[in-house]
Amino acid sequence: MSTITSSKSLSSAAVRGVQWTTAASVLTALMQIGYTAVMARLLDPAAFGLVAMAGVVLRFGTYFAEMGLGHAIVQRSTISKEDVRAAFTASLGLGVGVAGLACLLAPLAVFFLKNDAVIPLVRFQSLGFVFVGLGMTATSLLRREMRFEVLAKIEVAAYILGYGGVGVTLAWLTSRGLLPISGVWSLIAASLAQQLLVALMSYLVVRHSLRFIFKWNAYKQLLGYGSRVSIISFLEFINGNLDTLLIGRLLGTALLGIYNRAYMLLYLPMYFLTNSLARVAFPAFSKVQDDVPRIRTLYLTSSTLVATVVLPLCAGVAVAAPEMVQTLLGPKWLASVPVLRVLCISIPLSMTTMFAGIVADARANLGRKVVLNLEFMVLLASLFWLLQGYGLRGIAAAIGTGEVVRTFLYMRITHNDLGLPYRRMLAMYLPGLLNAAAVGLGILAVSLAVRPLHLPYVLTLLAQMLTGALVLSAVVLRWPSAELRPRLQQILQKLQGLRALPAAAQNLLTRYTTYLDNAAVVFPTFEPLSKNLV
């Protein structure tokens, strides 16, 4: 009886967590698009390129500052007060230490990036290590307790105040000459403000002990797991930033800024949409890490749902890339259109393989992840060397090819760990590919009809977005996947319980419910997987 109760409790917490993190992610993604559009008009491309360079250097230290302590707090089956004190002491100490090293070693960044302007940016933004160290324990405890409602509210509030308040205000003042500083500092200040606000608000909710502890036994288990996570994160950092390092060194800050905006324009909204599932999945997987059938179900269902949504969205972006760039970034960013289209292949794969990595983290299967990242690093470096002569398109093509190979490498790990057949893992992408074909063809037809009219770009983009939304909704509702069908049935049950709905709407819902029930009988493939979803 207790096992059933625990399962239902975990299920409810996971569902609420996905709802809140999804809502926060969608809202943040919309704000990110607005923020990008505003800042792109207030600042030059070189400002974004400089911040991207500084970000690479600082992300190098991030993995040593955190040492995987946040993951260790969430992953452990039990945790004590000493563990909390040890995590806070270590995270704050590491944050201060890495910030100091970043200030001292900032001039070395010039050797790799060949730009002296990066030095003061690195030194000032290194304060973020201290802010993250202050709040890491509190945010990890909230994740462990699956209090995603609180985390969602904190993140949205911090984004609005940090980026929308501090960042946009400073950028506007500098663009008008009212502040005697470069506009690039508005981007740095926005990031620091957001990090500090998250740390302060998280602690006000959790109120954990701030007492330091210096007993080695209190650190041993946390650092044992966390250090391996840190190594993997560092390798993933190198793999994920080889493009920025190469473009900044060989092609200059202006082209790096163009590439960075194209990448972020697509990656950030996709990341925000899928991150809600990923953030809930890790603590949920960790709580049932020894229950292989449940983790297998979670992995298959999460990956299928993400592919179902992300693949058609990226297909739509690939077709509507010119209008999207003109509307959101402006005409001076047109060089990012071909880069954006190539990235529409690699980013969906990166989003779906995210869950395979989470499974490995939850089950402490970290040795294989280290090997995978080393293999991927060699592959990616080789592709960059072969394709760098083709400029930005070559770098984007190298990333796309690398992501395809990385997807199969993760499938190998998941196959060996969970016993899943390769055919079943490849089938995860089928609903998304079918939806992507329908959405891409629909938007292409509208684009071919509307573009000759030479309407304002924003009107053309709205027509493309409306077409994509209608086509995706029609396809998903008409042919829902086995993983999506139970979610639709739950929504229908809630809607049918609303007395305010007119009789015609109730009849329509009843007919669609009957259709879903019949579809479950006619197309029962993999249906048992959804029934066991946590």
Give the pLDDT of the chain (534 residues) as one tens digit per residue: 344 334 556 656 766 777 787 788 778 878 888 888 888 888 877 787 778 777 777 766 776 777 778 878 888 777 888 888 888 988 898 889 988 988 888 787 666 666 677 788 888 888 988 998 899 899 989 988 888 889 989 989 999 999 888 988 988 888 877 776 767 888 889 989 999 999 999 999 998 988 888 887 777 777 777 778 878 877 877 777 777 777 776 667 777 777 777 777 777 667 666 667 777 878 888 877 778 888 888 888 888 888 888 899 889 999 998 998 888 888 878 888 888 888 888 888 888 888 888 888 888 888 888 889 899 888 888 887 888 777 777 777 888 888 889 999 999 999 998 888 999 999 889 888 999 999 999 999 999 999 998 888 899 999 999 999 999 888 888 877 776 777 777 777 777 666 666 777 777 777 877 777 776 544 444 433 333 333
- Total count of domains within the chain: 3
- What sign does the dihedral 158-163-165-170 (CA atoms) show? positive
- Do residue 371 and residue 448 come from a single domain? yes
Whether 158 and 283 map to the same domain: the answer is: no
Q: Comparing C-alpha atoms, which of 447, 515, 454 is closest to residue 479?
A: 515
Are 257 and 186 members of one domain?
Answer: no
Residues 284 and 426 in one domain: yes
Tokens at 203, concatenated: 């602690």
- Examine the domain organization and report whether 382 and 415 are in the same domain: yes
- Per-residue tokens: 247: 């473009």
Longest CA span, the chain = 72
What residue type is assigned to position 117 of the chain? Answer: A
Residue 339 within any structural domain of the chain: yes
Residue type, 446: V
Q: Are residues 265 and 217 in the same domain?
A: no
Range of the domain at 517: 485-531
> Would you state the pLDDT for residue 315?
92
218 and 271 inside one domain = no
For the CA atoms of 356, 357, 359, 364, what is the dihedral angle to 10 degrees? Answer: 150
Which pLDDT does position 528 carry in this prediction? 38
Q: Are residues 185 and 333 in the same domain?
A: no
Could you tell me if residue 478 is inside a domain?
A: no
Q: Which two tokens stand for residue 438?
A: 């329908």
Pair 195, 265 in one domain: no
Is residue 201 included in any domain, yes or no?
Answer: yes
Residue 239 placed within a domain: no
Any domain includes 353: yes
Dihedral (CA of 402, 405, 408, 409) sign: negative
In DSSP notation, 244-301 reads HHHHHHHT-HHHHHHHHHHHHHHHHHHHHHHHHHHHHHHHHHHHTTT-HHHHHHHHHH
Same domain, 138 and 209: yes
CA distance 22 to 42: 30
Say what the alpha-carbon torsion angle 274, 277, 280, 283 is, to the nearest 10 degrees: -90
Angle at 425 between CA 264 and CA 297, to 5 degrees: 95
Q: Which residues contact 276 (CB under 8 A, 6 or more apart)?
A: 18, 21, 22, 24, 25
237-240: long-range contacts, CB 8 A cutoff, minimum separation 24: 237/59, 237/60, 237/62, 237/63, 238/377, 239/373, 239/376, 239/377, 239/380
Q: Which of residues 197, 228, 259 is at a domain's end?
A: 228
Give a yes or no: residue 236 inside a domain: no
Do 490 and 459 lie in one domain? The reply is no
Residue 29 lies in a domain: no
The answer to whether residues 178 and 274 belong to one domain is no
Residue 234, in any domain of the structure: no
